[in-house]
Amino acid sequence: MPKRESIKPYFKQLKPSYGFDEVAIVPGSVTINPDQINIDLQIGDVKLTIPIIASAMDAVTDVNFAVLLSKLGGMAVLHLEGVHTRYENPADVLNELANTPNDKVTALMQKIYTAPIKDKLVGDRVRAIKKAGAFCAAAAVPANTKHLAPLVQEAGGDVMVVQATTITARHISKSVRGLVFSELTRKLKIPVVVGSCASYAATLELMENGVAGILVGVGPGAACTTREVTGVGVPQITATIDCAAARDVYFKQTGRYVPIITDGGFKKGADLCKAMAAGADGAMFGSIFAQAKEAPGKGYHWGMSTPNPALPRGTRIKVGTKASLEKLLFGPTSVTDGTENFIGALKTAMGFCGAADIKEFHNAELVVAPSITTEGKFWQLTTGRA
């Protein structure tokens, strides 16, 4: 009987992957005063004095919120497929969504978001933001980008965001030709930011297609259920490190620096600091800003995929109303849990590490630290803060 050839089995390998609560930043050997630190974020020709962007969600960004955040140094992204571009008076729709019981709200959203997007309203909303002297970014899913992006550019928009649950430079379909980013970035005169990404390879290929920024994060948002529904996602620290590595390789190859913007999963100042130390150039906030007094969601928050007609991958959550947008960003604050004064937290952490700007902060050492939020915190965990 012939001897059977030995076949070596292949085993799928799992690499460790970390989220915000599992790592810590190691302080540096030099410190610097927080008031000497530069935290600018550059996206194409747009320069923000704080590296914070508001997400393209109806409960977060409307015209007024976009204007206010821009005046404070950041930028908000208008959801071009949301209620603000479907209805002349979106406030009435938002009021209805805020007053509908949980067991009926997803069905209501599915109905509300079937109203057609009006080209005129797209232009009107962008022009209203620009008329107030603010930066204007606007977002669409890939399928609608070819139609909506020229409207944003014509109305004076500053940045076009192409956003999906997960996005790549190549999309395979038998029925339609996918969005070609190399063509889009050549045709538009404004920078194109894309997301969401969570891997080195996808990030590098998108950069090679001319995009001006990458949003990092698949499924970490407070109102997103993609990870529960599909099992797809990468914890934010690991995703940020991997995508930032692609940015650095691309920069060395081409001399063009493409910022990485970590999108989702933030709860407190420490999370923002860790994302930046992991390699992010900026951060996108959703649920944090939905808690602002000026947010259009009236204390509620929901994601872009919540009203999907066939498979909703989000849920409406009640976040409450915490403070003004300015207080959330800059304080002053009397709370001790890191949920206000995010900019103060970032500058303080950078000072601890001797980082004069965000690129220097990328050199900070991170350690795996699963007990970082519990070590020595017995009294806080058992009795709460005074």
pLDDT at 174: 53
Residue 295 placed within a domain: yes
Q: Flag whether the pTM goes above 0.85.
A: yes
Residue 250 placed within a domain: yes
Residue 15 placed within a domain: no
CATH code assigned at 237: 3.20.20.70
* Gyration radius from the chain CA atoms: 21
Q: What are phi and psi of 51, to 5 degrees?
A: -85, 45
Residue 10 placed within a domain: no
* Lowest mean pLDDT, pick from 162-166, 222-226, 234-238, 343-347: 222-226
Residue 3 placed within a domain: no
Domains of the chain: total: 1
pLDDT at 353: 98
Average pLDDT over residues 87-113: 91
**275-292: burial string, b at 16+ Cβ within 10 Å, e else:** bbbbbbbbbbbbbbbbbb
The per-residue pLDDT for range 223-282, each reduced to its tens digit, is 676 777 778 888 999 999 999 999 999 999 999 999 999 998 999 999 999 999 999 999
Residue 132 placed within a domain: yes
Q: Over 90: is that where the pLDDT of 317 sits?
A: no
Question: pLDDT class for 372, splitting at 50, 70, 90?
Answer: confident
pLDDT at 322: 94
| Residues with active-site annotation | 224
CA quadruple 302, 304, 309, 313: dihedral positive or negative? Answer: negative
Residue 158 placed within a domain: yes
Question: pLDDT class for 89, splitting at 50, 70, 90?
Answer: very high
Mean pLDDT of the chain: 91
The per-residue pLDDT for range 269-297, each reduced to its tens digit, is 999 999 999 999 999 999 999 999 999 99
Question: pLDDT class for 164, splitting at 50, 70, 90?
Answer: confident
pLDDT at 385: 64
Q: Over 80: is that where the pLDDT of 222 sits?
A: no
The domain in which residue 143 lies consists of 20-383
Average pLDDT over residues 108-119: 92
Residue 12 placed within a domain: no
Question: pLDDT class for 24, splitting at 50, 70, 90?
Answer: very high
The larger pLDDT score, comparing residue 109 to residue 244, is at 244
pLDDT at 177: 61
